[in-house]
Chain A
Amino acid sequence: MTTKKRFPTICPSCGGVLSVKSLHCALCDTMVQGDYAIHPILRLSADEQQFVLSFIKCSGSLKQMATELGLSYPTVRNILDDIISKLQNLENNETTL
């Protein structure tokens, strides 16, 4: 049985923001090491990332998204506005760090 792992963005020990230290190629076993910052979109929750993905797939049409998700237009717009506000906060925090 395979469990779907969640990409960790917050340190479970101190609560700090995690960065990527190493990357691995599953094909040739190459390992790349460095210090890569995690993009703000990857720091959104799984549901929020899914929403962003759907938004792009719908060519940014909130009306189409509302139909596909079975939600009302203002509900979809509110979710998007909340994500925008969260991304702005994440970006602001990054620049102040």
Chain B
Amino acid sequence: MKRLFNPFRYIAGAKALILGLIFIAAATLMLYSGSLIQDSYIHIGMAQAPLWYVGAMQIIWWLLPALLLYLCGIALSKSKIRIIDILGTTAFAQLILLLMIAPMLLPAIMNGMTDILVALQSGVTPTGSTIMPLMIYSIWSIVCLVLFYIWNYNAFAVSCNVNGWKAILTFIGVQVVVTIAGMVL
């Protein structure tokens, strides 16, 4: 259970960074193949974009919070922190996004999303068979989202050796800044 919620007790640094970059590359390919894009910190939208652009967005929404957390870590931590740890752990946390994206490529989810968009545009009520897979996927994505925040918090706490309210409030602050950045950019 400890490993599920805090894998960074056991993995960090270069090893985590290499695996994290593989997860980011896999997520980029998945998003591209499904004509999807991560257009803000935790939002996936539908868009026909070139592969490099999909990848660049993935990198930006991983690097931006990671660097902000690193700067906060420098300011708050009494330990000698390493940038490779925060980059590695936050990159490894992208595995959760990968798990969130993967079911989006299933025909039931893909068709469901298209049907909902069409239904919303034409004012027709979507059918139960369309909604059911999307409902299941919504629950899955909420679970993934919670785990994504837990992993990212633990990435910050372990890499920068900060804990308690100081760490929680700083982490929330960074999430708010990144979310706002996602709306503005």
Contacts and interface: CB of A to CB of B under 8 A. Distances in A.
Q: Do A and B come from one complex?
A: yes
Nearest to B161: A78
Given A81-B78, A85-B78, A73 B12 contact: yes
A93 to B, nearest CB: 19
A45 interface: no
B52 interface: no
Interface string B7-44: 01111110010000000000000000000000000000
Chain B residues touching A, range? 10 to 19
Contacts of A71: 9-10
A75 B9 contact: yes
B8 A75 contact: yes
A77 interface: yes
Interface string A57-77: 000000000000011111101
Given A72-B13, A85-B78, A77 B161 contact: yes
A73 B89 CA distance: 12
B85 A74 contact: yes
Given A72-B8, A72-B11, A74-B82, A81 B161 contact: yes
Interface in B78-93: 78-82, 85, 89
Interface of A: 70-75, 77-78, 81, 85
